[in-house]
Amino acid sequence: MTAVPYDMRQNPGTDVFDPGFGIYVHWPFCAAKCPYCDFNSHVRHQPVDQPRFVQAFLKEMAAMRRLTGSRSVTSIFMGGGTPSLMAPETVDAILNGIARHWHVPDGIEITMEANPSSVEAERFRGYRAAGVNRVSLGVQALNDRDLKFLGRLHDVADALKAIRLARDIFPRMSFDLIYARPNQTVEEWDRELREAVSYAVDHLSLYQLTIEEGTPFYGLHKAGKLVVPDGEQSAVLYEATQEITEREGMPAYEVSNHARPGAESRHNLTYWRYGDYVGIGPGAHGRLTTGGAKIATATERRPEGWLELVEAGGHGMVDQELLEREAQADELLLMGLRLKEGIDLARWQTLSGRDPDPERERFLIEHGFIERLGNSRLRCTPAGMLILDAVVADLAC
Ligand SMILES: C[S@@+](CC[C@H](N)C(=O)[O-])C[C@H]1O[C@@H](n2cnc3c(N)ncnc32)[C@H](O)[C@@H]1O
Ligand code: SF4
């Protein structure tokens, strides 16, 4: 695929009415497993047969193309795992495959996740030449003690080198940090975040550390050997995060995502605006409109199991569920209330066949958790974002 300069005017990222059509490709391998992570990522001690995976990705794309019909893609995202362990030729073959199956307009957002420890300038240039125009770096912390605690293979020097390289090579760049670490004070986080903002280009993802079941951190936490900030401390850290990023011109447009206006991740907006997306690769999920119905797809999680399914049957899908309108309304609420722009009420009403329960809505408004934007939109207030799951549960019933 020819590399085209990214053109912000072609990014319909601020068009609330166009949820878009994204393609997600999952690379399920990492150099090491981080102790907090429950993503579908696996460590292999033998080299991964990338050409074999490419063939399987192409086959599964053909199966997905039969479901979606011909469509124009608004964004592509290669996530993981650690996609920056892929050779540039692998990335090039994946992007070429997507362009053979769907219409890929010039200049659409093409993002790839990268780990600072697996970054080499040559590979970054290769990804850029293949068509990647946005990179999302897993920096996680800007001090070596916490990087070590998080089990990361990189140190701060590696992270800064990766940020510099990404800024030089890609038109757009984001990086992730994890906060609300054990014993992290608001003063420490304040300093670290200000430093991060000074390195940022147009986008930052700031996640609170979540203790996920089945991870080593979960075991330590349960045994009382790892203590994370409680609800009140987390709220203080969250509010400091909002204040600092807003002051620096990178306000939150979603619970954990911050951008300069116009630089929001087009791909993630498609998820949160409840648009269609194809999920390709082991453990990838999709939401597709096919034959007038919306379906949820899920593929086999185990990489080798997925490969075998694709090679034998043309795709690795293990689940295809028809989503009834009520289920779609719930998903729209769950995803859309994460966004500062909130949800389009008319769309939700059409799907659910009802208005929000007036009493519940009044209660949530009076307590300052949600608000109406004119007659057409409903959104969470900053206080509501802190108890988002409860707000969604209340409105969904
Ligand atoms: C699936 S990872 C992929 C990026 C890349 N592999 C990396 O870790 O650098 C996406 C992001 O999710 C975040 N993440 C993963 N597990 C998390 C957890 N338990 N709590 C908070 N953030 C988490 C990290 O910030 C990570 O960069
Ligand atoms: S590198 Fe990323 S995907 Fe891999 S284990 Fe760590 S957090 Fe998870």
Looking up tokens 């949600």 gives: 370
What is the C-alpha to C-alpha distance for residues 196 and 137, in angstroms, rounded to an integer?
Answer: 12
Same domain, 105 and 12: yes
Same domain, 124 and 217: yes
Ligand 1 atom with the shortest distance to the CA of 79: 3
- Nearest in space to 316 (alpha carbons), one of 304, 307, 327, 326: 307
Same domain, 262 and 115: yes
Q: Is 285 helix (H, G, I), strand (E, B) or coil?
A: strand
Same domain, 231 and 355: no
Burial of 175 (0-12, 13-18, 19+ CB in 10 A): buried
Same domain, 231 and 334: no
Got the DSSP string for 148-181? HHTT-S--HHHHHHHHHHHHHH-SEEEEEEEE--
Ligand 2 atom with the shortest distance to the CA of 33: 5
* Ligand 1 atom 5: residue of nearest CA: 138
Same domain, 260 and 123: yes
Same domain, 148 and 67: yes
Same domain, 258 and 370: no
- Nearest in space to 103 (alpha carbons), one of 174, 172, 1, 25: 1
What is the C-alpha to C-alpha distance for residues 65 and 15, in angstroms, rounded to an integer?
Answer: 25
Which pLDDT score is estimated for 160?
Answer: 96
Residue-level pLDDT, tens digit, the chain, 397 residues: 333 333 333 333 444 567 999 999 999 999 999 999 999 999 999 999 999 999 999 999 999 999 999 999 999 999 999 999 999 999 999 999 999 999 999 999 999 999 998 777 789 999 999 999 999 999 999 999 999 999 999 999 999 999 999 999 999 999 999 999 999 999 999 999 999 999 999 999 999 999 999 999 999 999 999 999 999 999 999 999 999 999 999 999 999 999 999 999 999 999 999 999 999 999 999 999 988 899 999 999 999 999 999 999 999 999 999 999 999 999 999 999 999 999 999 999 999 999 999 999 999 999 999 999 988 899 999 999 999 999 999 998 7
Give me ligand 2 centre to Cα 374, in Å.
Answer: 41
User: 241, 256, 271: which is the final residue of a domain?
Assistant: 271
Kindly state whether residue 293 falls inside one of the protein's structural domains: no
What is the C-alpha to C-alpha distance for residues 66 and 102, in angstroms, rounded to an integer?
Answer: 11
Beta bridge partners of 77: 24, 111
Kindly state whether residue 128 falls inside one of the protein's structural domains: yes
Farthest-apart Cα atoms in the chain, separation: 59
Phi, psi of 299 (to 5 degrees): -105, 165
Same domain, 252 and 351: no
Centre a 10 Å sphere on the Cβ of residue 349 and count the other Cβ atoms it contains: 13
Ligand 1 atom with the shortest distance to the CA of 83: 6
Ligand nearest to the CA of 179: 1
Ligand 1 atom with the shortest distance to the CA of 81: 6
Query: Count of domains in the chain?
Result: 2
Q: How many helices (H) and strands (E) does the chain have?
A: 15, 15
Q: Which of 27, 29, 39 to mutate to test the pocket of ligand 2 (most atoms within 8 A of CB)?
A: 39
Q: Is 291 helix (H, G, I), strand (E, B) or coil?
A: coil
* Ligand 1 atom 9: residue of nearest CA: 138
Would you state the structure tokens that stand for residue 156, as one six-digit string? 């701060």
Q: Is 203 helix (H, G, I), strand (E, B) or coil?
A: strand
Decide if 337 contacts 392 (C-beta within 8 A): yes
Kindly state whether residue 334 falls inside one of the protein's structural domains: yes
Q: Which domain holds residue 176?
A: 8-271
Which pLDDT score is estimated for 17?
Answer: 65
Kindly state whether residue 24 falls inside one of the protein's structural domains: yes
Beta-sheet strands, E only, within 256-345: 257-259, 276-280, 285-290, 293-299, 317-322, 343-344
Kindly state whether residue 299 falls inside one of the protein's structural domains: no
User: 236, 271, 306: which is the final residue of a domain?
Assistant: 271
Alpha carbon distances (Å) from 211 to 60, 143, 150, 222, 233? 33, 21, 12, 10, 16
Beta-sheet strands, E only, within the chain: 21-27, 75-80, 109-114, 134-140, 172-179, 203-208, 252-254, 257-259, 276-280, 285-290, 293-299, 317-322, 343-344, 370-373, 377-380
Would you state the structure tokens that stand for residue 265, as one six-digit string? 């991740």
What is the C-alpha to C-alpha distance for residues 170 and 225, in angstroms, rounded to an integer?
Answer: 41
- Nearest in space to 341 (alpha carbons), one of 315, 383, 316, 376: 376
Burial of 383 (0-12, 13-18, 19+ CB in 10 A): middle
CATH of the domain at 336: 1.10.10
**What pTM does this model have?**
0.94
Kindly state whether residue 337 falls inside one of the protein's structural domains: yes
Q: Which of 26, 27, 34 to mutate to test the pocket of ligand 2 (most atoms within 8 A of CB)?
A: 34
Cα-trace Rg, the chain = 21
Same domain, 197 and 86: yes
Burial of 206 (0-12, 13-18, 19+ CB in 10 A): buried
Centre a 10 Å sphere on the Cβ of residue 353 and count the other Cβ atoms it contains: 9
Same domain, 261 and 386: no
User: 253, 271, 289: which is the final residue of a domain?
Assistant: 271
CATH of the domain at 32: 3.80.30.20
- Nearest in space to 323 (alpha carbons), one of 345, 278, 290: 290
Kindly state whether residue 305 falls inside one of the protein's structural domains: no
Q: Which of 27, 29, 37, 137 to mutate to test the pocket of ligand 2 (most atoms within 8 A of CB)?
A: 37
Would you state the structure tokens that stand for residue 195, as one six-digit string? 């430093």
Which pLDDT score is estimated for 4?
Answer: 31
Same domain, 226 and 361: no
258 phi-psi bin (left φ>0, alpha ψ -120 to 50, beta other): beta
Decide if 104 contacts 2 (C-beta within 8 A): no
